[in-house]
């Protein structure tokens, strides 16, 4: 991923900043510019999530995505934040201890690197709470 493409979403990735629709009281992470329910009637503002959530489902990846080869096996999960939205993230910890419904909390971690000498990406992963 290019530097500007990552940089544009840096605040959202580092601090779990998403959006909130005042019209229907729905929270969004990743952030959205348009409410999918209210569409143009939705009044969208920023919201910072505290990041506490629950593991909805997960997998243990053995054949890695490009750039993640050194990390296998790694746990990838869908986390539901307390306010409602769901996101995809790595879950740090022993794969054998993962289970659906597990409480999780966010941690600031290195996500990856573009190529051998490229930019290092940081963002939010989760650990068992």
Partner 1 sequence: MREVAIIGVKNTLFGEQWDRSFRDLVVEAGVGAVEDAGVAGERIDSMFVGNMSGGQFVEQEHIGALIADYSGLAKNLHVPSTRVEAACASGGLALRQAFYSVASGMDDIVIAAGVEKMTDVPSSKASSALAAAADREWEGIMGATFPGLYAMIARMHMHKYGTTSEQLAQVAVKNHYNGQFNPIAQYRNTITVDAVLSSIMVADPLRIFDCSPITDGASAVILAPADVAHEYTDTPIYIKASGQASDTIALHDRRDITTLDASVVAGRRAYEMAGLGPKDIDLVEVHDCFTIAEICAIEDLGFVKKGEGGKATQQGETAIGGRIPVNTSGGLKACGHPVGATGIKQAVEIVQQLRGEAGKRQVDGAEVGMTHNVGGSGATAVVHIFSRNR
Phi (first) and psi of residue 53, to 5 degrees: -165, -165
Q: Collect contacts of 41-46 with beta carbons under 8 A, ≥24 apart.
A: 44/19, 44/20, 45/19, 45/20, 46/17, 46/18, 46/19, 46/20
123 binds, among partner 1, Zn ion, none (CB under 5 to 8 A by kind): partner 1
Hey, which residues between 39 and 68 contact partner 1 (CB under 8 A)?
Answer: 56-66, 68
24 binds, among partner 1, Zn ion, none (CB under 5 to 8 A by kind): Zn ion
- Of the ranges 19-27, 44-52, 69-77, which one interacts with partner 1 (CB under 8 A)? 69-77
> Is residue 128 a contact residue for partner 1 (CB under 8 A)?
no
């Amino acid at each position: 991923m290019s530097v500007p493409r990552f940089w544009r979403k840096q605040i959202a990735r580092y601090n779990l900043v998403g959006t909130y629709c005042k019209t229907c009281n729905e929270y969004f992470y990743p952030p959205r510019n348009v409410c999918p329910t209210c569409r143009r009637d939705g009044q969208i503002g920023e919201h910072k999530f505290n990041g506490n959530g629950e593991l909805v489902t997960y997998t243990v990846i053995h054949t890695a995505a490009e750039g993640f080869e050194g990390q296998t096996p790694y746990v990838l999960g869908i986390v539901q934040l307390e306010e409602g939205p769901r996101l995809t993230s790595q879950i740090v910890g022993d794969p054998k201890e993962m289970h659906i419904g597990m409480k999780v909390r966010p941690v600031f971690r290195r996500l990856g690197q573009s190529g051998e000498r490229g930019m290092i990406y940081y963002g939010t992963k989760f650990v068992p709470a």
